[in-house]
Amino acid sequence: MKIFKQSLLIFISLMFFWILLAGWQNQELIVGAIVSLLLTMLFPKSRELFGEFKFSFKAIISLIQFIFVFTFELIKSNLDVALRVVKPTLPINPGIVKVKTKLKSRLGRVMLANSITLTPGTLTVETDGEDYYIHWIDVSSKDIEGATEKIVHKFEKYLEVFYG
């Protein structure tokens, strides 16, 4: 039953992205279903990765909250970087900081690293277990706990609900 649930989750994810890219017409839906089914069957190892996802009502709510928080942080950091470009007098204090994560799952850690990298002003340079090395455009905290609070915590609290 677990393998079926994981395969179904992969299939639904693939179909979701197919619909986003191709549209909602009958031909595209049929081709998308065939391609998604083939990919789900051809790459059974991907089930392990999706097996880390906790499929519950609380996890779905947390995923929705994560999308809103990520979007807000993305807009906020875009405006910050844009202001620094337009107003060169604003301070820039670049550096690499070490942060820690409590996430245990591989997919959760990848999502965290990508979320940090996708927000302008931060870039995940290296990951080493629970340690992440982040290039930060304006280092406001050099200690691990302070940097973790400012960079990681806003994403991590949602990611650990649906990835652990």
Contact 97, 147 (CB under 8 A): yes
Higher-pLDDT residue of 120 and 51 is: 120
Find tokens 């997919």 and name the residue.
107
Task: Give Cβ neighbours of residue 151 (< 8 Å, ≥ 6 apart).
Answer: 97, 99, 116, 122, 134, 136
pLDDT band at 52 (very low <50, low <70, confident <90, very high): low
pLDDT of residue 40 exceeding 90: no
Percent of the chain exceeding pLDDT 70 equals 91
What pLDDT score was predicted for residue 1? Answer: 58
Q: How far apart are the first and last CA of the chain?
A: 21
pLDDT at 50 over 90: no
The per-residue pLDDT for range 4-37, each reduced to its tens digit, is 777 887 888 889 888 888 888 889 899 999 999 9
Using pLDDT thresholds of 50, 70 and 90, give the confidence band for residue 155: very high
Q: What is the pLDDT of residue 56?
A: 76
Q: Considering the chain, what percentage of its residues have pLDDT values greater than 90?
A: 37
pLDDT at 10: 81
- The pTM (predicted TM-score) of the whole model is 0.73
Check residue 57 and give its pLDDT: 84
